[in-house]
Structure 1
Amino acid sequence: MNRRRFLSTTAASLAATSAFSATADKKARIAVIGHTGRGNYGHGLDTMWLKIPESEIVAVADADAKGLEGAQAKLKLSKGYADYRKMLEEVKPDIVSIGPRHIDQHHEMIMASIAAGAKGIYLEKPFVRNLVEADEVVDACTKSKCKLALAHRNRYHPALPRIVQLIKDGAIGKPLEYRTRGKEDPRGGSLDLWVLGSHLLNLTNFFAGDYLACTATVLQNGKPVTKADVVDGAEGIGPLAGNEVHARFEMQSSLPVFFDSVQNAGAKTAGFGVQIIGNGGIIDLRIDEEPIAHYLEGSPFRPVTKPRAWVPISSAGIGQPEPIVNLKELCGGHLLAGQDLIAAIKEDRDPLCSAQEGRTTIEAISAVFESHRLGGQRVTLPLKTRQNPLTLL
């Protein structure tokens, strides 16, 4: 991870716990976009703002009439909008919270929010459907100076800078590789890569730096995916194929990142995480769990005669009590992320998980399919192909 990102993450993680109220002269006006039945409001991207003192929800839009009525009651709003464009035009919010999980709506909602003069956007993951859309959003954010933050909520966890320092201090010996797996439930394979793997690839981008190249294989029932296997993916993802994915990424840090997902191969007690493996130990991160990480000392390659215990890692260090009260709610409920976005607007800086990082994650996902399309060839990033590679099979 580069020094600038590490320092900004450390400072923002510490500042987030103080709620930034000292510099707030007025509350940020929040408009919420949801779509009941088409991705709803994501993982609480509507109600999160009720718990952030620096914000106030001023409007909500939902194309589903019954869903809109329920959202107004939940958010304590007297008026709602069936058309989010009309809401943006009339309300002119400071921040737009885009909740639908179906990502075929994201690009249009983002561009409409920027056109309406939004200073910030908080967006449910995954980012957008392809690199054409990602490029357009990043360019629009740059030109408008709108701060877009992705809801990869673990990226805002204050233990991450501590983990970076532990690795630098030699806690796992010589770092060797990063291993990631999705949930590997019925969504296992390509859908797992998109919906849950996006969390993992975003985290490994944080730890290991930029993605430089990828080699990958995508299978459907044990056979390489062909054009005949391509379907319209769930959650608005677009062209999708494969219930088994195996990928290797070359990274800026020189350490490889591996992603694997096999349909129905996962277990509820394991999976969906990142392991940072060294010759003297392992740091294991479990997504959306608290504590977020555990440490296992010793070589991972040698049998032992006595059991070794996994030790929790808090923001204070290995085996230390967590000093931040209610951290699970602060992180899992998007409160740290929302506060960081408000601070990013005030400080004119990128959010901890920005539009640029969103594009990086989509590029890594696209690289998996591009490598497979080319017969498992090594492809370099950024990709020349900006559309979904499965459309070129």
Structure 2
Amino acid sequence: MKKYRVAVIGHTGKGNYGHGVDTVWLKIPSCEIVAVADADEAGRAAVVNRLKAPKGYADYRQMLDEAKADIVAIGPRWLDQHREMCLAAAAHGAHIYMEKPFCRSPAEADEIIKACEKADIKLALAHQTRYSPKLQGIRELIDDGKIGTILEFRGRGKEDKRGGGEDLWVLGSHIMNLIHHFGGEPNWCFARVEEGGQPIGKEHIKPGNEGIGPLAGDTISAMYGLDGGATAYFGSKRETMGNRFGLQIFGSKGIIEILTGHLPSAQFLPDPAWSPGRSKAVWQPISSTGLEPETMKDGGLDAGNVLAVQDLIEAIENDRQPECSMYEGRTTIEMICAVFESHRTGGPVKMPLATRVNPLSLV
């Protein structure tokens, strides 16, 4: 068995190590952590101890020069670091597993993809739900016609203090990725972004948290047309939390709902009216095998990362794209940016987007 040399990049205080993107390698027998990098001295010392890494670096570029890694784990949640880290890893011929969201704009996604294609690099994103065994159960229900023709997708963010634009970026990325997976390529987007009940303007735009870039809006209302023929909707309104975070798939015969995670809550309603009060239909739990009882245990973030890394290694060895690849990552970023581009231009926008920069930088 080949032993993969893994170098871990984090940044304590500026995105840290994501959701277990650093520790997952300790659970993969075919992987060996050879070095870590963290610009923060105290954080670097802590992660060297936590990962039992043989060496820590203040500069990840120096680490990449010396460590000769096969795989680089890019952990920081802060988006303003992702482009440079990905380009550096690709330049050193290392495959990549990284925290989501992918990057700050379609232009950055284009750059990263070009560099990875040139070096024949596989890049996998930590949209953990995309690796969940439950997705296969849902796919089988859809393919068996249990919900009939798919008509709509409806997703919402967490709608906490980040509700609106930040929610769209940080948590909506999970929902966009699932919509893309089940609904096909997005062809257009029509959206409105508001702040305090009014459409956003230049005066509302400020630097977003966690290196997102220009950001505005406490309310998002977005609609997408998908290749598969369905329409998708996404919404988020700040401080209206109601445990709505997730995705619902509405068909001519019923509804499927899925949340997020390794083994997320998922259920099926065999109701063409979409109204249990009218039809008396009952929600049925969905397992990794469909409507049979679940035999697996939810392993949380760790288990989700393990599945993702195992898939990345199989992708490397079989020369295929990972389940959640850089191409899917780019589509997710375009779906997010399309919301702001539609608002900026005042109408529907075609996808892929002609505007490759963050649209709010043009307001």
TM-score by length of 1: 0.89
Please say if residues 329 and 335 of structure 1, whose CA atoms lie closer than 8 Å, have aligned partners that are also in contact: no
The aligned counterpart of 2:108 is 133
Shift of residue 169, structure 1, vs aligned partner = 1.5
Please say if residues 78 and 212 of structure 2, whose CA atoms lie closer than 8 Å, have aligned partners that are also in contact: yes
The aligned counterpart of 1:188 is 163
Aligned equivalents of 1:303 and 1:309: distance in 2? 7
Would you say 1:336 and 2:307 are equivalent positions? yes
Shift of residue 312, structure 1, vs aligned partner = 1.5
Please say if residues 215 and 248 of structure 1, whose CA atoms lie closer than 8 Å, have aligned partners that are also in contact: yes
1:321-362 deviation per Cα after TM superposition (whole angstroms, max 9, x unaligned): 2344x4434775400000000111111110001111110111
> Aligned residues, how many?
363
1:27–1:385: structure 2 CA closer, same or farther, 3 Å change rule? same
CA root-mean-square deviation: 1.5
Aligned equivalents of 1:102 and 1:372: distance in 2? 25
From 32, 41, 45, give the equivalent of 2:8: 32
Would you say 1:388 and 2:358 are equivalent positions? yes
Unaligned runs of 5+ in 1: 1-24
- Percent identical pairs in the alignment equals 53
Aligned equivalents of 1:231 and 1:116: distance in 2? 35
Aligned equivalents of 2:8 and 2:290: distance in 1? 37
Amino acid at match of 1:314: S
1:90-123 deviation per Cα after TM superposition (whole angstroms, max 9, x unaligned): 01100000000001000000001111121x1001
Q: How does 1:10-21 map onto structure 2 within 5 Å?
A: none
The aligned counterpart of 1:144 is 119
Q: How does 1:210-221 map onto structure 2 within 5 Å?
A: 210-221=185-196
1:140–1:322: structure 2 CA closer, same or farther, 3 Å change rule? same
The aligned counterpart of 1:95 is 71
Moved more, 57-66 or 285-294: 285-294
1:133–1:254: structure 2 CA closer, same or farther, 3 Å change rule? same
Aligned equivalents of 1:45 and 1:289: distance in 2? 14
Aligned equivalents of 1:364 and 1:303: distance in 2? 32
1:67–1:303: structure 2 CA closer, same or farther, 3 Å change rule? closer
Q: Secondary structure at the match of 1:304?
A: helix
Amino acid at match of 1:41: Y
The aligned counterpart of 1:21 is none
The aligned counterpart of 2:344 is 373
The aligned counterpart of 1:223 is 198
Amino acid at match of 2:339: V
Amino acid at match of 2:314: A
From 84, 87, 107, give the equivalent of 1:108: 84
Please say if residues 213 and 381 of structure 1, whose CA atoms lie closer than 8 Å, have aligned partners that are also in contact: yes
Unaligned runs of 5+ in 2: none
The aligned counterpart of 1:4 is none
From 263, 280, 288, give the equivalent of 1:290: 263
1:112–1:303: structure 2 CA closer, same or farther, 3 Å change rule? closer
Aligned equivalents of 1:355 and 1:140: distance in 2? 11
1:164-222 deviation per Cα after TM superposition (whole angstroms, max 9, x unaligned): 22112121233210000000011000100000000100011000110100000000011
Moved more, 51-60 or 246-255: 51-60
The aligned counterpart of 2:318 is 347
Aligned equivalents of 2:336 and 2:244: distance in 1? 19
Amino acid at match of 1:112: A
Please say if residues 262 and 300 of structure 2, whose CA atoms lie closer than 8 Å, have aligned partners that are also in contact: no
Aligned equivalents of 2:324 and 2:265: distance in 1? 17
The aligned counterpart of 2:290 is 317
1:302–1:312: structure 2 CA closer, same or farther, 3 Å change rule? closer
Please say if residues 95 and 122 of structure 1, whose CA atoms lie closer than 8 Å, have aligned partners that are also in contact: yes
Amino acid at match of 2:203: A
Amino acid at match of 2:158: K
1:330–1:392: structure 2 CA closer, same or farther, 3 Å change rule? closer
1:54–1:322: structure 2 CA closer, same or farther, 3 Å change rule? farther
